[in-house]
């Protein structure tokens, strides 16, 4: 895969199925317009291939009505315009816009009778984000100052939140020009609305006590669909909670963490059931970690479908509704073995899933059936091989190596993922493919601290950054370097976020093993991260402890004087997760110490540059990385 092949990444997003109608949205980078474009596609169940169903700037989040007659979805009609809910007949025709939210609408949710839609939308304070105050809409630099009284006042890639909190709305989907009904007043955050089975109420998650103070715990609330009443507490959850699925008997399923007192970092996400006074975790704490990004739980006649992270795979599994902390072996594997399920949907016995694997990032399959579509069939292939070995203390290590063409010996790039409670896996990873196509073998480790190997594995680095995680990373690298087709004398190290932390750490403590380093959007100093990052107010203490001396010991910047190898500092100017000051402090320290350091700054980008940044910046970043490795690894 070459940098220009980004245009071939037409990736599936949300899936919806009703009867024989299967819809999926896809999105692809368009470097010419420097935006992402996408459409809805219909997927015949006979496997005859995808058929484009809508044509617009960007359509997403398709939702087929329960009666199968209508489709609601989000549409962006032009550059810089926010997404709005549209509705069209399932048998085709023109789409009709049903929302006019100034900052855009969230994904639509159909009522059980297929007549109304619920959605969330952020509503700006007067005089903010283009809204008027006293008849004038001030520009960003003319807005009034923000009076901030909370720690959780901003989010990376979104911005300030207290002056545009989300609200819940319901609108009659079948009446042209219907006015939406506002169900919540914007005094608290909320997410993931779902209708009760009788269509009289909406259930949603919100921070504990409706966001009265900063908290890491959520509860489930309900509100009448007609409006006019305050939210009522429905479920006091055990910690963080979301994605409620109301049941016909009055119970509700949801994803949740068991973190009654702490922030919940490095904890496995479980499937829970609340019914009356009963609150039961259906899945095991240690072995089952649900992947929320793949979608909310889906109830079928035989149980509940969830995506589960397992040793680099994201597997679609069925959990019995009567389960009580069932372990992974007690769930039924339906799809995703040695692959990653990115989305799934079901209607009756029809289950569909979007799958990313080592061959393609963009396949949609009927579970138990066959391939429905591959939206990226022209992407170049690569060899991907699994790595297993042992750390110095005997702990098993696991990862992958993506190999270039030819016999070698190939130069090597060690790439460390972010998180740290994330993972590399069996899915298609565009970065590794680009470097492999340029002639580099790419080593992808999942050290202690990663997700998908049990909760204890993920929590092993709490208070211990720079210890067992380093041992596992280097042990995985050594496992790869035992191959005769890899050149142990030409190795570079790179990573982003926590992976940037690890790159900085390895460069300081094991620099003799590497020719050069590429440290991206890194955490380099926990002291300033605490106040500068959107999550710093809790994240640094959660992983490192509150002792300033301990935080200094676990900060790569403390050891900057030990770095002598060529070192590239890469950052985005608008990164609020790992703020740009983390890059600046490291760069200045290295240059003052005489180290051969360089810095690459991307304007207008946040923490997610490599995944969802502007297409031209993504391509320019690849070009810069390939130039860096060409200079230092040959």
pLDDT at 249 over 90: yes
Q: Tell me the DSSP string of 303-353.
A: EEEEEEEETTEEEEEEE-TT-SSB-GGGSEEEE-TTSEEEEEEEETTEEEE
Per-residue three-class SS string for 529-567: HHHHCCCHHHHHHHHHCCCHHHHHHCCHHHHHHHCCCCE
Beta bridge partners of 309: 314
Name the residue among 322, 330, 460 with its Cα closest to residue 395: 460
CA distance 585 to 593: 12
pLDDT at 625 over 90: yes
Average pLDDT over the chain reads: 97
Name the residue among 309, 230, 244 with its Cα closest to residue 273: 244
pLDDT over 70, % of the chain: 100
Q: What is the mean pLDDT of residues 297-310?
A: 96
pLDDT digits (tens, 9 = 90+) for 57-114: 999 999 999 999 999 999 999 888 999 999 999 998 999 999 999 999 999 999 999 9
Q: Which helix (H) or strand (E) holds 35?
A: strand 35-42
Name the residue among 373, 523, 396 with its Cα closest to residue 453: 396
CA distance 314 to 292: 11
For residue 266, what pLDDT is reported? 97
CA distance 557 to 615: 31
pLDDT at 267 over 90: yes
CA distance 432 to 325: 37
DSSP 198: T
Pairing of strands 567-572, 363-366: unpaired
Specify the pTM. Answer: 0.96
- CA 24, 29, 32, 33 torsion-angle sign: positive
The owner of tokens 């690569």 is 382
Pairing of strands 340-347, 109-110: unpaired
pLDDT digits (tens, 9 = 90+) for 150-199: 999 999 999 999 999 999 999 999 999 999 999 999 999 999 999 999 99
Cα separation values, 416 from 157, 303, 399, 432, Å: 22, 37, 10, 11
Tokens read off for 518: 């590429």
Cα separation values, 560 from 543, 565, 632, Å: 21, 11, 20
DSSP 105: B
Q: Tell me the DSSP string of 108-165.
A: -EE-TTSSEEEEEEE-PPTTSTT--BTTB---GGGSPPP----S--EETTTEE-TTS-
CA distance 245 to 253: 5
Name the residue among 201, 207, 239 with its Cα closest to residue 222: 201
CA distance 86 to 105: 10
For residue 381, what pLDDT is reported? 87
The owner of tokens 């069209």 is 88
> If pLDDT is split at 50, 70 and 90, which confidence band does 278 have?
very high
**At a CB cut-off of 8 Å and minimum separation 6, what does 628 contact?**
516, 518, 568
> If pLDDT is split at 50, 70 and 90, which confidence band does 262 have?
confident
What residue ranges do the domains of the chain occupy?
195-281, 383-633
The owner of tokens 């050891």 is 559
pLDDT digits (tens, 9 = 90+) for 408-432: 999 999 999 999 999 999 999 999 9
The owner of tokens 């029809």 is 350
Tokens read off for 296: 């909310």
pLDDT at 501 over 90: yes
Q: Which fold has domain 383-633?
A: Rossmann fold (3.40.50)
**96-102 long-range contacts, CB within 8 A, separation 24+:** 96/176, 98/72, 98/171, 98/173, 98/178, 99/169, 99/171, 99/180, 102/129, 102/130, 102/131
Phi, psi for 88 (deg, rounded to 5): -145, 160
For residue 313, what pLDDT is reported? 98
Q: Which helix (H) or strand (E) holds 18?
A: strand 11-18
Tokens read off for 75: 């549409």
448 touches 474 (CB < 8 A): no
Cα separation values, 91 from 84, 96, 178, 372, 547, Å: 21, 14, 23, 20, 62
For residue 80, what pLDDT is reported? 87
pLDDT at 491 over 90: yes
pLDDT digits (tens, 9 = 90+) for 123-133: 999 999 999 99
Name the residue among 602, 584, 601 with its Cα closest to residue 592: 584
């Amino acid at each position: 895969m070459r940098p220009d092949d980004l245009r071939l990444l037409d990736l599936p997003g949300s899936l919806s199925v009703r009867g024989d109608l299967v819809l999926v949205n896809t999105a692809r980078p368009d470097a010419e317009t420097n935006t992402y474009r996408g459409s809805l596609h219909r997927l015949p169940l006979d496997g005859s291939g995808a058929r484009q169903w809508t044509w617009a700037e960007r359509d997403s989040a398709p939702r087929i009505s329960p009666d199968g007659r209508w489709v609601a979805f989000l549409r962006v009609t032009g550059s810089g315009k926010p997404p709005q809910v549209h509705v069209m007949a399932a048998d085709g025709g023109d789409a009709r816009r049903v929302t006019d939210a100034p900052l855009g609408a969230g994904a639509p949710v159909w009522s059980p009778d297929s007549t109304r839609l619920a959605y969330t939308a952020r509503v700006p304070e007067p005089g903010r984000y283009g809204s008027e105050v006293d008849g004038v809409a001030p520009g960003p630099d003319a807005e009034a100052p923000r009076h901030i009284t909370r720690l959780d006042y901003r989010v990376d890639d979104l911005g300030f939140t207290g002056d545009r909190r989300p609200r819940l709305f319901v609108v009659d989907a079948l009446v042209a020009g219907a006015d939406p009904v506002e169900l919540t007043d914007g005094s608290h955050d909320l997410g993931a609305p779902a209708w009760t089975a009788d269509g009289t109420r909406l259930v949603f998650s919100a921070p504990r006590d409706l966001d009265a103070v900063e908290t890491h715990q959520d509860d489930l609330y309900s509100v009448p669909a007609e409006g006019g009443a305050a939210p009522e507490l429905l479920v006091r959850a055990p910690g963080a909670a979301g994605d409620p699925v109301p049941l016909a008997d009055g119970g509700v399923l949801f994803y949740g963490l068991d973190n009654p007192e702490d922030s919940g970092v490095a904890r496995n996400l479980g499937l829970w059931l609340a019914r009356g006074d009963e609150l039961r975790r259906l899945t095991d704490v240690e072995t089952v970690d649900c992947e929320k990004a793949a979608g909310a739980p889906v109830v079928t006649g035989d149980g509940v479908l969830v995506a589960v992270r397992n040793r680099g795979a994201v597997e679609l599994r069925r959990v019995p509704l009567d389960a009580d902390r069932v372990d992974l072996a007690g769930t039924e594997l339906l799809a995703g073995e040695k692959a990653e399920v990115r989305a799934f949907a079901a209607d009756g016995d029809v289950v569909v899933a979007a799958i990313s694997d080592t061959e393609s990032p963009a396949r949609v399959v009927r579970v138990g059936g066959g391939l429905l579509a591959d939206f990226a069939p022209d992407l170049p292939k690569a060899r991907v091989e699994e790595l297993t070995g042992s750390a110095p203390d005997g702990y098993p290590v696991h990862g992958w190596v993506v190999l270039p063409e030819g016999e070698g010996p190939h130069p090597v790039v060690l790439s460390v993922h972010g998180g740290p409670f994330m993972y590399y896996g069996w899915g298609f990873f565009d970065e590794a493919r680009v470097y492999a196509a340029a002639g580099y073998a790419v080593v992808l480790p999942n050290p202690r601290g990663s997700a998908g190997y049990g909760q204890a594995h993920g929590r092993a680095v709490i208070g211990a950054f720079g210890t067992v995680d380093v041992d596992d990373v280097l042990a995985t690298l050594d496992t790869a370097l035992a191959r005769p087709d890899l050149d142990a004398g030409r190795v570079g190290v790179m990573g982003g976020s926590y992976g940037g932390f690890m790159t900085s750490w390895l460069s300081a403590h094991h620099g003799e093993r590497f020719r050069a380093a590429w440290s991206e959007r890194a955490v380099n100093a926990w002291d300033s991260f605490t106040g500068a990052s959107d999550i710093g107010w809790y994240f640094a203490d959660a992983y490192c402890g509150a002792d300033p001396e301990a935080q200094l010991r676990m900060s790569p910047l403390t050891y900057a004087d030990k770095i002598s190898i060529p070192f590239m500092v890469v950052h985005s100017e608008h990164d609020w997760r790992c703020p740009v000051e983390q890059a600046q402090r490291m760069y200045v320290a290295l240059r003052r110490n005489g180290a051969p350091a360089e810095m690459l700054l991307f304007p207008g980008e946040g923490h997610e540059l490599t995944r969802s940044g502007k297409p031209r910046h993504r391509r320019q970043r690849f070009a810069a990385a390939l130039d860096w490795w060409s200079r230092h690894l040959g």
